[in-house]
Structure 1
Amino acid sequence: MNDATLVLVGNAKAGSISVLRLGEGSLDPLAEHEVGVGCGTFAIDHARGLVHTAVKEPEPAIVTLSFDAATGQLTETARRAIPDPLAYLVLTREGELLLGASYAGNWGASWPTPKGVPGEPVGRVEHRHLHCVVPDAAGRHAYWVALGDDLVAQTAITEDGGLEPLDPGTVSVEEGAGPRHLVLAANERSAYLVTEFTGEVIRFERDDATGVLTRAESVSIVDPGAGLSTSRLGADPMEEHLIWGADVHLAQFGSFLLATERTASTVATVSMEPEGLLGAVIGLTPTEAQPRGFAVAPDNRHVVVAGERSGGVALYELSDEGILTELDRRDTGSGANWVRFA
């Protein structure tokens, strides 16, 4: 593993971002920076050495920080007030455009960042409880996951960063599924969506020319021995012992898909078939308590999982057979729920 590979962890309740160095089988703490309660999402501009994070307190804002990769130090450079907290941030067009989804505000927006600082928003979408937004690599299309409306909104990104609906403008899932996070395959011919209330990963075929998604197959990522029931909006999954799907990523260069479920605290490993089709669940690995967010390292073999309830992160290595082996863990802060590599 390259000793320059760093891991950034958002600790939402603590209001901090932890920076760790990924060593040979270890996570080594480098720095800690307080940014504000609710810092549960951020996007890294690697070229400019910047991190854009969203906070809830003292007021909802997008906070831009410079990032020293040698020391892990973060320094605030700008702060833009926004109407509501954001659940998801992502950069596109080589860092020139920032996209964000607000679960609490029921909206998504785009902000030009020509000098690394978000300007006035130029695009907006509105759906209930938007939880995630993912652009394609070229910055032509963006996909907005609306948990409250059980759909994915699909938009074109205009030349100036505006947002226009595709035809059709949305693709639906089953009522009450609670779509949450989405990831595109490397070849962008498939998109994979994890649902919060039913604990499924759903594959969509993607038309590269139009950007339109079409529903395909699905697989359950819930531990069948955990005795979990389907959840619903407004329920307490821990109190009622309900399904609580969280995050999804591809690993081993598309050979496996990983997805987390928070009530049983597991990471499911799904084998992938040719052409990106979903195969079977081949492993359910116990992990950090309430694993909300995780990320796969640039080498596609190492995985860092954050536990909302444990307040820490665990490092795993994924074998060629799809087996996750824990190598290390570190406490980071209360409400650890977001992980990205730099």
Structure 2
Amino acid sequence: MKKLLFLAVVLLPGLSFAQKKDMAPKTYDLVIGSYTNSGKAKGIGVYRFYTESGRTAYLNEAQGVSNPSYLCVSKNNKFVYAVNENDNGEVSSFSFDAKSGTLTFINKQSTLGGAPCYISVDKNNKNLFIANYAGGNIAVMPLNADGSIGQAVQTIKDDGHGPDKERQEKAHVHTAVLSPDEKFVLYTDLGNDKINITKYKAGKDNPITPVKPPFVKVSPGAGPRHLAFSADRKHLYLITEMGSSVVAYDYNNGTLKQIQDITLLADGFKGATGAADIHVSPDGRFLYATNRGDANDISLFAINQETGMLTFIERRSTNGKGPRNFAIDPTGSFLLVAHQYTDNVVIFRIDKNTGKLTDTYNRIEVGSPVCLQFAPAL
């Protein structure tokens, strides 16, 4: 009897682990932000995404939202926040019913800068961090318990310019990302070729404070755009829009040390480019980066798990024009690319052994899609 009791105690943790593993969501909500000024989209679309097949089903749409070009979902899955990328610069909040995919407008606030193009939120839903591209500044905006947005409590703006007189005539903040431990906020300045680094403390009048030194410089004219952390949090990857490259850094408690700069372009490539988005696979083994212009492709790199260095694997067409933003589903099985100019989302299956992509030929037809975010479906 004692032996049977001992076996039961030993086996129970395993049973519990299996049950937890089986409880992982098999379906997600896919929230899509678009440019509405094209006249092809009306607002924010919500689709059900099935991780076993890569298929989707339309759920709902929040109409009347002006240019929700980038959005984020709160960590508690109750709210969606979207920038309104217009000259006056605003941000909108919505309550989110993940079961039905319904978005209900709450309120809107000024971002204190024109053409906001990126938004992120901390895990405790205390603050939003917004990159104002035309305004050239980052804005910190407090959140209330009901999900509504308060007036901005802080903005930081860079002076100066880069060598490209047309694209870098002034500061152009392009992204604002929290470090994995949320002790720091890093934001890129395309106009000044910099990654700015600030220390973050929620609840203060000035939640973000520049560290010393407050930034790292990127190659002149590169135009830093988006950032992605490695799974082990020891490395940071930057995609440069104008330079069409990925720059790898060692990351340690708010400090960056460059270790690599690798191109996204094929040998002998000639034509317009515009590198756009960058993400690391959920298992941390692969990195993907998109390029627009005449390239319209996505590059795949293997990540050295010891050093963080990248090794090029392949480059392939995204099967559309203007691959601005893309997302990898939380299971790491599919990669979805939003095409701004061919008005669709193309769904690829990921080979988890090689990282390579295969077109599923599943499509979501939607006007001017430019942002994709996943949220657990309840």
| TM-score, scaled relative to structure 2 | 0.82
Q: Is structure 2 residue 338 aligned with structure 1 residue 311?
A: no
Choose the corresponding residue for 2:370, options 321, 337, 342.
337
Give the match for residue 238 of structure 2.
Answer: 193
Q: Is structure 2 residue 132 aligned with structure 1 residue 102?
A: yes
Q: CA deviation at 1:138?
A: 2.6
Q: Is structure 2 residue 237 aligned with structure 1 residue 204?
A: no
Give the match for residue 217 of structure 1.
Answer: 260
Report if the CA contact (8 A) 1:9-1:18 is conserved: yes
Q: Give 2:365's aligned amino acid.
A: D
Q: CA deviation at 1:300?
A: 2.1
Query: CA separation of 1:122/1:150 partners in 2, compared to 1, >3 Å: closer, same or farther?
Result: same
Q: Give 2:336's aligned amino acid.
A: V
Choose the corresponding residue for 1:178, options 223, 247, 253.
223
CA RMSD between the two structures: 1.8
Q: Is structure 2 residue 115 aligned with structure 1 residue 85?
A: yes
Choose the corresponding residue for 1:6, options 26, 29, 34.
29
Q: CA deviation at 1:164?
A: 0.8
Choose the corresponding residue for 1:62, options 91, 102, 107.
91
Give the match for residue 27 of structure 1.
Answer: 56
Give the match for residue 275 of structure 1.
Answer: 306
Give the number of the structure whose alpha-carbon radius of gyration is greater.
2
Choose the corresponding residue for 1:164, options 206, 209, 217.
209
Q: String of CA shifts for 1:171-224, please: whole Å, max 9, x gaps.
A: 00110001100011222211100001111100111112xx11121112112233
**4+ residue runs over 6 A deviation:** none
Partner Cα distance (2:123, 2:74) in 1 = 11
Choose the corresponding residue for 1:119, options 142, 146, 150.
150
Q: Identical aligned pairs, as a percentage?
A: 25
Q: String of CA shifts for 1:223-255, please: whole Å, max 9, x gaps.
A: 336x23xxxxxxxxxxxx322100000014111
Give the match for residue 289 of structure 1.
Answer: 321
Q: CA deviation at 1:17?
A: 1.2
Once the two structures are overlaid, the 10-residue window that deviates more, 54-63 or 195-204, is 54-63
Q: Is structure 2 residue 146 aligned with structure 1 residue 146?
A: no
Query: CA separation of 1:57/1:146 partners in 2, compared to 1, >3 Å: closer, same or farther?
Result: closer
Partner Cα distance (1:325, 1:31) in 2 = 28
Q: Give 2:173's aligned amino acid.
A: L
Q: CA deviation at 1:262?
A: 0.6
Residues paired across the two proteins, number: 326
Query: CA separation of 1:89/1:205 partners in 2, compared to 1, >3 Å: closer, same or farther?
Result: same
Give the match for residue 322 of structure 1.
Answer: 355
Partner Cα distance (1:15, 1:131) in 2 = 24
Partner Cα distance (2:282, 2:102) in 1 = 30
Report if the CA contact (8 A) 1:124-1:163 is conserved: no
> Does the residue aligned with 2:27 lie in a helix, a strand or coil?
coil
- Unaligned runs of 5+ residues in structure 2 are 1-23, 159-170
- Unaligned runs of 5+ residues in structure 1 are 229-240
Q: String of CA shifts for 1:21-60, please: whole Å, max 9, x gaps.
A: 1122212222222243321111101415110101145953
Q: Is structure 2 residue 268 aligned with structure 1 residue 245?
A: no
Partner Cα distance (1:179, 1:85) in 2 = 17
Q: CA deviation at 1:3?
A: 4.1
Partner Cα distance (1:274, 1:48) in 2 = 31
Partner Cα distance (2:109, 2:315) in 1 = 41
Once the two structures are overlaid, the 10-residue window that deviates more, 190-199 or 47-56, is 47-56
